[in-house]
Structure 1
């Protein structure tokens, strides 16, 4: 059985992240979500896609990165995240989407636990695409909780 899986690669700042393609439903051009009162800072609002409501998560805020205004390259990635008790429909705002690429899970490294700035429990693994690293999200852990995914983030207060 092959350990090569397909991932949608996306960019946030200078970092490249990957999402298992089996959870990706659609990629949309950015549009401003309808705001939700009392929502956590990373939940920027809701959008309607063909009669389905999607909460929209700003990945930059969720990861504790500084906010940036949307650009023509900004996308909303619609996902079906398999949570323990249900499937969660959610949209992730990404600075840009690159491509679908193959990564070998057998060659993925675990997230560094010491000295790194990422909270490693949000990371399923780190793959290589040529000379570049792709940080692969653990979507269930990323969506389970309100804390930013960057250790020591100003947003964690």
Structure 2
């Protein structure tokens, strides 16, 4: 494969589905530890994860996509993602059931996401890649957590709480 014609991704699983995000936005992959709670956030906002002294807003991707909640297991991971939002960088932690691999595939293999047949909005998908036994769903994290929403969560996580 020619590097200019391939996309390197981190594949992860949630339930029986396989998702992927570009390696370029993944800063690191952490073993799961419960985030420190922050009050008054949406149900999918779990709190803050300490990443080398920085409090990173951590979100439950299962809940955000409408999957039923699941208990954390030994395979549960937190993807630390650096997203470009309106000219600045935003760091988010995203909890996933398990990380499967880092892999590459040809950009020509990326198909348009289906409009129906998935349990969540296809607006959250950049595309799908066929593979033996199913599909890999390329997730548009920026679309799932809109710039305003993500920035608001990051700011509310940093705001002092009243007593």
Name the TM-score, length of structure 2 as normaliser: 0.84
The 1:115/1:134 distance shift into structure 2, 3 A limit, reads: closer
3-state DSSP of counterpart to 2:123: helix
Note if 1:127 corresponds to 2:129: yes
Give the number of the structure whose residues are more often helix, by fraction. 2
Number of equivalenced pairs: 146
Query: What residue number does 1:18 align with?
Result: 20
Deviation at residue 118 of structure 1 after TM alignment: 2.5
Larger displacement relative to structure 2 (134-143 or 110-119): 110-119
Instruction: List runs of 5+ in structure 2 lacking aligned partners.
Output: 150-163
* Mapping 1:2-151, distance limit 5 Å: 2-144=4-146
Deviation at residue 114 of structure 1 after TM alignment: 3.3
CA distance in 1, matches of 2:79, 2:49: 12
Structure with higher Rg: it is 2
CA distance in 2, matches of 1:32, 1:116: 29
Contact kept? 1:103, 1:129, Cα under 8 Å: no
3-state DSSP of counterpart to 2:33: coil
CA distance in 2, matches of 1:115, 1:10: 20
